[in-house]
Amino acid sequence: METDVYWVTFPDRRATVLPAILKLVNEYASQEMPRTDNLSQDELLAREEDNNRRSLVWARNNLAVSWLA
């Protein structure tokens, strides 16, 4: 899979920060990915909506983004 189109959106990326990013990802990564293939459409939609709401609450509480206030 070509990722050049994706990475071009990060013009200031530096390879020197990659180890720190990977360490952070590994520290907070789930041991098991959640499964959704066994959910009904309604259950899947409810889970997606809950995840979106929790993500917005987290962003409001942890990021300096005025439009989330």
Q: What is the pLDDT of residue 1?
A: 52
Q: What is the pLDDT of residue 15?
A: 74
With vertex at residue 65, the alpha carbon angle to CA 46 and CA 15, rounded to the nearest 5 degrees, is 90
Q: What is the pLDDT of residue 39?
A: 95
Q: What is the pLDDT of residue 11?
A: 73
* pTM (2 d.p.): 0.52
The position carrying tokens 């180890």 is 19
The position carrying tokens 């050049």 is 4
Q: From residue 56, how far is each of 20, 50, 61 by CA, in Å?
A: 25, 10, 9
Each residue's pLDDT tens digit, 9-32: 777 777 778 888 889 888 888 778
CA 17 – CA 49 distance, rounded (Å): 33
